[in-house]
Structure 1
Amino acid sequence: MTAHVETLQFQSEARQLLQLVIHSIYSNKDTFLRELVSNASDALDKLRLEAFRDKELAADTSDLHVDIEVDKDKRTLTVRDNGIGMARDEVVGLIGTIAKSGTAEFLRKLKEAQDAAGSQELIGRFGIGFYSSFMVADKVTLVTRRAGSAEGVRWESSGESTYTIEPVSDAPQGTAVTLHLKPADPEEHLHDYTAREKLVEIIKRYSDFITWPVRVVPEDGGEPETINSRKALWARPASEVTEDEYTEFYRHLSHDWNAPLETIRLRAEGTFEYQALLFLPSRAPLDLFMRERKRGVQLYVKRVFVMDDCEELMPEYLRFVKGVVDAQDLSLNVSREILQQDRHIQLMRRRLVKKILSTVKSMMTEKPDDYATFWREFGRAVKEGLLDDFDNRDAILDIASFDSTHDPEKPTTLAQYVERMKEGQEHIYYMTGESRTRIENSPHLEAFRAKGFEVLVLTDPIDEMWVDAVAGFGGKKFQSIAKGEVDLDTEDEKKETQARQEDFAELLSWLTETLGEGVKEVRLSSRLTTSPACIVGDTHELSPMMEKMYRAMGQDLPAIKRILELNPTHPLVTGLRDAHRERKDDTGLAETAELIYGMALLAEGGELDDPARFTRLLSGHLQRAL
């Protein structure tokens, strides 16, 4: 009986991406072997763990390894493992689909990259390592059988628009990827992937640290030779590990093309022993803020792989950290549910978090450029910890940077802000908003700018939440310049303001009544110098941006009334006061009041209840002014 062969289409975007991988992205062709060996190593890890958990699994785990075989006459190179293998649906899902999420985003980013270097930096942000095989092969054949299954699968593609898939009855356990190499190019003698010395060079450079034996099989069928040292990097003395080895280990763990920004080692001895080797990436992954993202580090027990993406060891706000934690005293038969209750895991987590935060703090002074990169890429995620991690809140504030009015080009730390505070200043002033431009053009900044007070410019959505949850820093409280009353006046200015209060009392009362349900109160302002009016909130009210966020999430919020503040020195306001004294019943004055309120609302980025009415009133007043 002939096996049923199916021919399936790659997705349209996947076809484009495959061609880019083949022709444009990878500059170092040797990396295809690193990707295939890394995938094989993962498959062996998964089989050992699966066999430990399922004692009935019909799988041979007695001699787990990765073999590399070449046939010079046929110009084929095969990477073979006897690991977990794949079923048909897994082959279609994992191999038949390139970069299951983010393909369109990758193509868009690639088009934006202006040079080859920019293109290469994108490779690590997408799961397309397997397809690097097509850089060196005209055709790739994959034969696999999942451990415990009776039937295997054969997948084949020439890297064009289609691939074939069919069942096979005699496939061994695991996966074999056979590359039908492109014709030899005399100009590229350095890339002869049928040469044993070339394969050994690549394996030692990229895969020396892999736990499993990576063997080169002689063409004459002799005994396979193990090439890699198989020494766990985290167990070796730091003095014996090179930066290149750390980099390749990080790439193996993360499938990231870039080198790590920082390497962190930790060893704990005593009643509970463990070792950790952690990495801070240099680029944020594209799924950093996606719901389906994975987080956590790999968990080993006595150098035996136990769990990928161990969330219990790393908080959500540090989800970008990659690495390995190797515990000496945990059971191999550990589950996520057990880890959630394990006291030792909680102690390890606290220690790891403190080590990461202290490392970032040391980067601020020792490697300021690296710190700037870290905060640019991950600061928004780290600030989530100000809401979730009360124990480390002060440490997070210590490493945080924010835009401010002090220097538009350079963010400031809170320590630097406090050091620059004016004599007698009691608060750390900030303003939240959708963009720096909108905040800098806000009327709320006028008096602060005029009197030389520095204001933090907070534009991340998370900023709206943590500023209300955090009391302060360095003994100074955070104060929004768009909420509550602002006291920047000298004693003489306060006396002058009190006198003006009496002068404007009648106008303020009339405006409060005229604007009715639109405002909570109308009062004089000490925060305005050039604008006639602004809208402010009470100290504990939601900001306009926060209100928008809640409503966008479907939250049913009651109407929030805000306060209208007037600039008592502005000609429009003094003119309205004088006109009201002379002709209290003039309907045009009520319209002017509406216009002042509408302008203040628009200046803070708010939305008018009736834009058409506002436009009619404005055009009428402009016409009468001509």
Structure 2
Amino acid sequence: MKEKETRGFQSEVKQLLNLMINSLYSNKEIFLRELISNASDAADKLRFRALEQPDLYEGNGELRVRILFDKDKRTITLIDNGIGMQRNEVIDNLGTIAKSGTKAFLNSMSTDNVKDNQLIGQFGVGFYSAFIVAEKVIVSTRAAGTTYDQGVYWESTGEGDYTIASINRPERGTEITLYLRKGEEEFLNELRIKNIISKYSDHISLPIEMLTNINQDTKNKADNNEDKKDVVIGNWETINQANALWTRNKSDISNEEYKNFYRHISHNVNEPLIWSHNRIEGKQDYTCLLYIPADAPWGIWNRDYKYGLKLYVKRVLIMDDAEYFLPNYLRFIKGIIDSNDLPLNISREILQNSRITQSLKSAIIKRILSMIEKLAKNKEKYNSFWKNFGIVIKEGPAEDPSNISIIAKLLRFASTYCNSDQQTVSLDEYISRMLEKQDKIYYISADSYAAAKSSPHIELLQKKGIEVLLLFDRIDGWMMNYLTEFNGKLFQLVSKADLNLDNISQENVAENKEIEKKAWEPFINRVQSYLGNRIKEVRLTNRLTDTPAIVTIESNDMTTQMAKLIVAAGHMKPEIKYIFEINPEHKLVKLAANINDNKIFNEWVELLFDQALFIECGTLEDPNKFVRRINNLLTNITTTT
């Protein structure tokens, strides 16, 4: 060995290894799935790079992964002849985790719950799962295209540091040897290993070979031979089918095989909710196998989140994260696209601007939306889907206007009809319950379900039996800027002014509005004069029953929720001029109207206005001043009665 040194793991790796070593992981066998998956990826990378550099095959283009175990030494070894690694790549890949959200990921795990945590592979740290069963791991590797003396040796017991050195290695690729802990003897059993491979890796197109029928005498000789891998000590038996699953006929693929392939590409032990496998021939020739996960992929909100579509061209993996085929609102989809029309040497830049890419993207989107529509027919499954991906789907109306009618049908909302914060109401269901004279879909947007449900803006609507959609996700205000109608029914935000609700019910809210308006005109003018340009206008309202006043906006003005989104994005707070609507039937309003003292009158106006702003915005610029004003007015009422 040359250039031998001991290096410390990145702190996040130390924490992860501690969890691996000290936990009782309930699904230990996944270590083999993860290591085989890594070997498959290494083969795919070599195939792709060899398109332009055939010499990388070094005279041996038969890619495979081999597995052998030694009961005496208590070792299991995986050997691939894929792309391999150079020294700096070993340090980067095995000593650090270069991914945002690392801290959050590790904080979500503990030695108590890691046994049930399914995120190991999803987070891209599958290699470290070896330490679930191994007390020591040794890696020997050489990158394709490098000389034999540029091999790299890596060794660690997972206790804070690792040893790395330069070695001579004739073969390209990577060899990983696991020295098993006591109690892990099951993984030294030939039948057990075969069953694991069949369970998790049967679909992998790379042949997985296992050394069977070992001749012990020959093996003993091989152990003392530096070139022991060239000594035939048994038979190499191919365990898996070794052909790409998506190339097979659907009728020949079992549901379990589809599920296992999903587990392979998603690094997720859970089953998918639904999948779609299609071969398309005609103007375009391609195969796609698409999955909707049962749970949200880790890091879906991170900036460096990798899309889950793998792009193949004529069975050659071109790209792991083919973001060009998915819009953001469908980024949770997992699967593969295999095109016969794209060139093998296509670059990311050409791919991004390719007409074939755009056509494929359009077709893939429609197929995914069709899958989700199918899923929606099962309410239980769709409720689970919506809890995981509803907020992501809500990005759709803004991002994909060409499919907005389909996306709108897939949206789910909480509403006053259900008396629950669960978003289960479809727009079709809402329309089916609309009153005879109702011509709009009414909704309220707030910071929380409780705030939306108790909003005074919906008091009259509830009194008249009109259902109101309750929107309380941060994205809702932005989404509704793009969702203006559904099936010919306009959406109406109830916090906007000039709602004409009288035609919905035979009830006449105000028997003589003109007389009422004239009687209250001096009061309205007095309030308007005091508040001045702080408000756009002061009006009487008949939409309230239990609330003295609210603020509203004109139909074309920016909403409060949209303004909050702008602030959350780091921009200056937009100024909103509200309309101050006052309920003439409320006792506090009548009390204020009879006050002659301007100072006290102004205090009451401030109180009513602050209440209305607090209801609309959820906050006040000076809450302490608001509380003092209430206390002063209460004290004044108490001393004068």
Q: Give the shorter-chain TM-score range.
A: over 0.9
Long gaps (5+) in structure 2: 220-231
2:288 to 276, 279, 303: 276
Aligned Cα root-mean-square deviation (Å): 2.3
2:453 corresponds in structure 1 to: 440
The AA in structure 2 aligned to 1:398 is K
Q: Which sits farther off after the overlay, 170-179 or 316-325?
A: 170-179
2:601 to 578, 589, 607: 589
CA distance in 1, matches of 2:623, 2:375: 51
SS in 1 for 2:63: coil
CA distance in 1, matches of 2:513, 2:620: 30
The AA in structure 2 aligned to 1:32 is F
Deviations 1:384-425 (A, max 9, x none): 111011111111111111111111335200000000111111
1:102 aligns with 2:101: yes
2:146 corresponds in structure 1 to: 149
1:393 to 388, 404, 423: 404
CA distance in 1, matches of 2:399, 2:318: 27
CA distance in 2, matches of 1:83, 1:165: 20
SS in 2 for 1:331: coil
CA distance in 2, matches of 1:34, 1:608: 55
1:254 to 266, 269, 273: 266
Mapping for residues 285-300 of structure 1, pairs under 5 Å: 285-300=297-312
CA contact (8 A) 2:460 2:544 kept: yes
SS in 2 for 1:175: strand
CA contact (8 A) 1:519 1:564 kept: yes
1:105 Cα shift?
Answer: 2.4
Deviations 1:307-335 (A, max 9, x none): 21111221111111010111222211112
CA distance in 1, matches of 2:427, 2:401: 18
Change (3 A) 1:558 1:303: closer
1:428 aligns with 2:441: yes
Deviations 1:19-51 (A, max 9, x none): 322343632322211111110000000011012
1:137 aligns with 2:134: yes
Mapping for residues 543-558 of structure 1, pairs under 5 Å: 543-556=559-572, 558=574
Normalising by structure 2, what TM-score? 0.90
CA distance in 2, matches of 1:479, 1:165: 65
1:204 aligns with 2:198: yes
CA contact (8 A) 2:34 2:121 kept: no
2:431 corresponds in structure 1 to: 418
CA distance in 2, matches of 1:59, 1:519: 77
Normalising by structure 1, what TM-score? 0.92
2:381 corresponds in structure 1 to: 370
1:27 corresponds in structure 2 to: 26
CA contact (8 A) 1:25 1:120 kept: no
1:6 corresponds in structure 2 to: 5
Change (3 A) 1:29 1:610: closer
Mapping for residues 571-610 of structure 1, pairs under 5 Å: 571-579=587-595, 583=596, 586-610=598-622
The AA in structure 1 aligned to 2:526 is W
Q: Which sits farther off after the overlay, 333-342 or 568-577?
A: 333-342
Mapping for residues 183-222 of structure 1, pairs under 5 Å: 183=182, 185=183, 192-218=186-212, 219=214, 220=219, 221=232, 222=234
CA contact (8 A) 1:301 1:327 kept: yes
The AA in structure 2 aligned to 1:213 is P
CA distance in 1, matches of 2:557, 2:263: 47
SS in 1 for 2:205: coil
SS in 1 for 2:66: strand
CA contact (8 A) 2:84 2:144 kept: yes
SS in 2 for 1:339: helix
The AA in structure 1 aligned to 2:538 is V
CA distance in 1, matches of 2:574, 2:428: 38
The AA in structure 2 aligned to 1:294 is K
1:179 corresponds in structure 2 to: 178
CA contact (8 A) 1:296 1:312 kept: no
CA contact (8 A) 2:67 2:208 kept: yes
CA contact (8 A) 2:203 2:245 kept: yes
CA contact (8 A) 1:534 1:565 kept: yes
The AA in structure 2 aligned to 1:295 is Y
1:163 corresponds in structure 2 to: 162
CA contact (8 A) 1:99 1:127 kept: no
CA distance in 1, matches of 2:622, 2:70: 77
1:225 to 229, 237, 261: 237
CA contact (8 A) 1:261 1:280 kept: yes
2:78 corresponds in structure 1 to: 79
CA contact (8 A) 2:200 2:260 kept: yes
State the identity as a percent.
Answer: 42
CA distance in 1, matches of 2:449, 2:201: 46
1:402 to 402, 413, 420: 413
CA distance in 1, matches of 2:199, 2:252: 15
CA distance in 1, matches of 2:300, 2:547: 41
Deviations 1:229-256 (A, max 9, x none): 1122212222221222111111111112
1:57 Cα shift?
Answer: 5.1
CA distance in 1, matches of 2:98, 2:31: 16
2:499 to 473, 483, 486: 486
2:346 to 310, 314, 334: 334
Deviations 1:424-463 (A, max 9, x none): 1111111112110111222212112222111111122221
CA contact (8 A) 2:408 2:486 kept: yes
CA contact (8 A) 1:26 1:132 kept: no
1:576 Cα shift?
Answer: 1.9
CA contact (8 A) 1:153 1:171 kept: no
SS in 1 for 2:338: strand
CA contact (8 A) 2:118 2:268 kept: no
1:68 corresponds in structure 2 to: 67
CA contact (8 A) 2:204 2:245 kept: no
1:45 aligns with 2:47: no
1:54 Cα shift?
Answer: 4.0
1:374 Cα shift?
Answer: 1.0
1:320 aligns with 2:332: yes
2:550 corresponds in structure 1 to: 534
Deviations 1:489-528 (A, max 9, x none): 2563254333322221121122111011321111112321
The AA in structure 1 aligned to 2:450 is T
Long gaps (5+) in structure 1: none
CA contact (8 A) 1:522 1:565 kept: yes
CA distance in 2, matches of 1:292, 1:576: 57
1:482 Cα shift?
Answer: 0.9
1:513 aligns with 2:529: yes
CA contact (8 A) 2:202 2:240 kept: yes
CA contact (8 A) 2:22 2:111 kept: no
1:473 aligns with 2:470: no
CA contact (8 A) 1:51 1:59 kept: no
Deviations 1:181-223 (A, max 9, x none): 224x4xx7xx533333332222222211111111113545245
Change (3 A) 1:85 1:276: same
CA distance in 1, matches of 2:460, 2:111: 41
The AA in structure 2 aligned to 1:96 is G
CA distance in 2, matches of 1:463, 1:102: 25
Deviations 1:104-143 (A, max 9, x none): 3234333598x787x2344454333222212221100111
Change (3 A) 1:498 1:18: farther
